[in-house]
Amino acid sequence: MKRIAVMTSGGDAPGMNATVRAVVRSGIDKGMEVLGVIKGYAGLIENNFTELSLRSVSDIIHRGGTILRTARCPEFKTEKGQKTAIKNLAAAGIEGIVVIGGDGSFMGAKVLSERGVPTIGIPGTIDNDIAYTDFTLGFDTACNTILDAINKIRDTMSSHERISIVEVMGRNCGDLALWSGIGGGAEIIIVPEAPLSDAQIVKKLTQFKKSGKYSGIIVMAEGAGHADELMERLTKRTGFHIRSTVLGHIQRGGSPSMQDRYLGTSFGAYAVDLLYRGIGNRIIGIKNNKIFDTDITEGLKQVKKFNKKLYKLAETVAK
Ligand code: ADP
Ligand code: F6P
């Protein structure tokens, strides 16, 4: 392949820029031209491409967000939108494409491959909700952002002898809550995969009180409920002073961690290598510390398993 493109799609994630940089520089190193698609699948439909040079990706490795911008584009789910995108790709002489995004974006990548454009997917989402890979790009940075918030909230909670409910992102997947809860020493972790009733939470808080704890942190995934509602219910049912904080989009931004810069750089170079060899319809991941690729359909078929062992460990060390 002589001319490839790269795009970011769906929710942005720290490390996307490091990935774009690696795609551009690895591609140019192999003698290819690399174009950027602006705003994901919307850019394909709107013919919004830009030539990327070695210098156009300078100074971005440390930046969160995505210089290519991103979008959610319902039109690409339609036959008409897909045909327009394919026509635009052909007119621009683009022979292969790297899509950085979540599982929705991978459905789009599958469509592109099926319509004859070799496409490689790179998992980029803070949620870590993609089954075939141990980690997605941006998850580590988001966990560290949450940890920073938990640390600060803990300072004031212990000073005032209060309990704080910290609501983090993750609609269907509790990984952000689970991992940041482990790292932040959360007393209670509430995730969609292992919901807790109010009675169970009250019981845990009562046990903590008996064991001499006078403050604590409850980390709750957004998919498991609303922090302010839980705060009201628990305040009525316990003698604790309870506060709630919804972290929101602060979790999506920020300078990528070392782990996400490493993943982005490795995934990006790996994707270019596949396209260079004429291979498409693959998604890239990391399993047991090894970067690998798998067929898009096979990868998407896998169902994410809840890490019960980690959840149990969190409970054990929260005592
Ligand atoms: P994420 O990639 O973060 O999971 P979305 O689920 O919003 O985010 O998907 C991003 C975009 O991928 C969608 O806006 C749409 O353009 C494209 N997409 C999602 N599902 C499909 C599908 N079934 N077929 C074609 N394109 C899709
Ligand atoms: O998928 C990533 C994510 O940040 C989720 O954790 C969150 O629920 C959602 O995106 C928020 O999306 P929006 O971009 O619409 O605010």
Is 197:237 a contact under the CB 8 Å cutoff?
Answer: no
Question: Of these residues, 12, 103, 127, 175, which one is catalytic?
Answer: 127
Domains recognised in the chain with CATH numbers: 3-138+256-301 (3.40.50.450), 141-253 (3.40.50.460)
| Helix or strand run (H / E) with residue 303 | none
pLDDT along the chain (319 residues), means of 10: 97 98 98 98 98 98 98 97 98 98 97 97 98 98 98 97 97 97 97 97 95 96 98 94 98 98 98 97 98 97 96 95
**Protein residue with its CA nearest to atom 6 in ligand 1:** 104
- Residue 29: what pLDDT? 98
- In ligand 1, the atom with minimum distance to the C-alpha of 76 is 16
State in Å: Cα 210 to ligand 2 middle: 38
- Residue 144: what pLDDT? 98
**Protein residue with its CA nearest to atom 23 in ligand 1:** 107
Q: Which residues does ligand 1 sit against, CB inside 6 Å? A: 9-11, 41, 72-73, 76-77, 101-105, 107-108, 111, 125
Among 46, 77, 297, 304, say which to mutate for ligand 1: greatest number of ligand atoms within 8 Å of CB.
Answer: 77
Alpha helices, DSSP H, located in 115-173:
139-160
- Residue 116: what pLDDT? 97
Whole-angstrom Cα distance, residue 224 to residue 167? 9
Closest Cα partner for 90 from 3, 155, 13?
3
Q: Identify the sign of the CA torsion 151, 155, 157, 163.
A: positive
- Residue 239: what pLDDT? 86
Q: Is 127 designated active site?
A: yes
Lookup: tokens for 239:
């003698």
Tokens 């683009």 label which residue? 94
Q: Which residues contact 296 (CB under 8 A, 6 or more apart)?
A: 106, 109, 110, 113, 119, 121, 281, 282, 283
Q: How many CA atoms lie within 13 A of 116 on its CB side?
A: 8
CA distance readout (Å), 54 to 21, 51, 100, 258:
8, 10, 19, 22
Ligand nearest to the CA of 102: 1
**Protein residue with its CA nearest to atom 3 in ligand 2:** 11
Closest Cα partner for 24 from 48, 45, 54, 3?
54
Closest Cα partner for 4 from 100, 87, 111, 117?
117
- Residue 120: what pLDDT? 98
- Residue 319: what pLDDT? 86
Is 72:87 a contact under the CB 8 Å cutoff?
Answer: no
Ligand nearest to the CA of 126: 2
State whether the beta carbon of 125 lies less than 6 angstroms from ligand 2: yes
**What's the whole-model pTM score?**
0.97
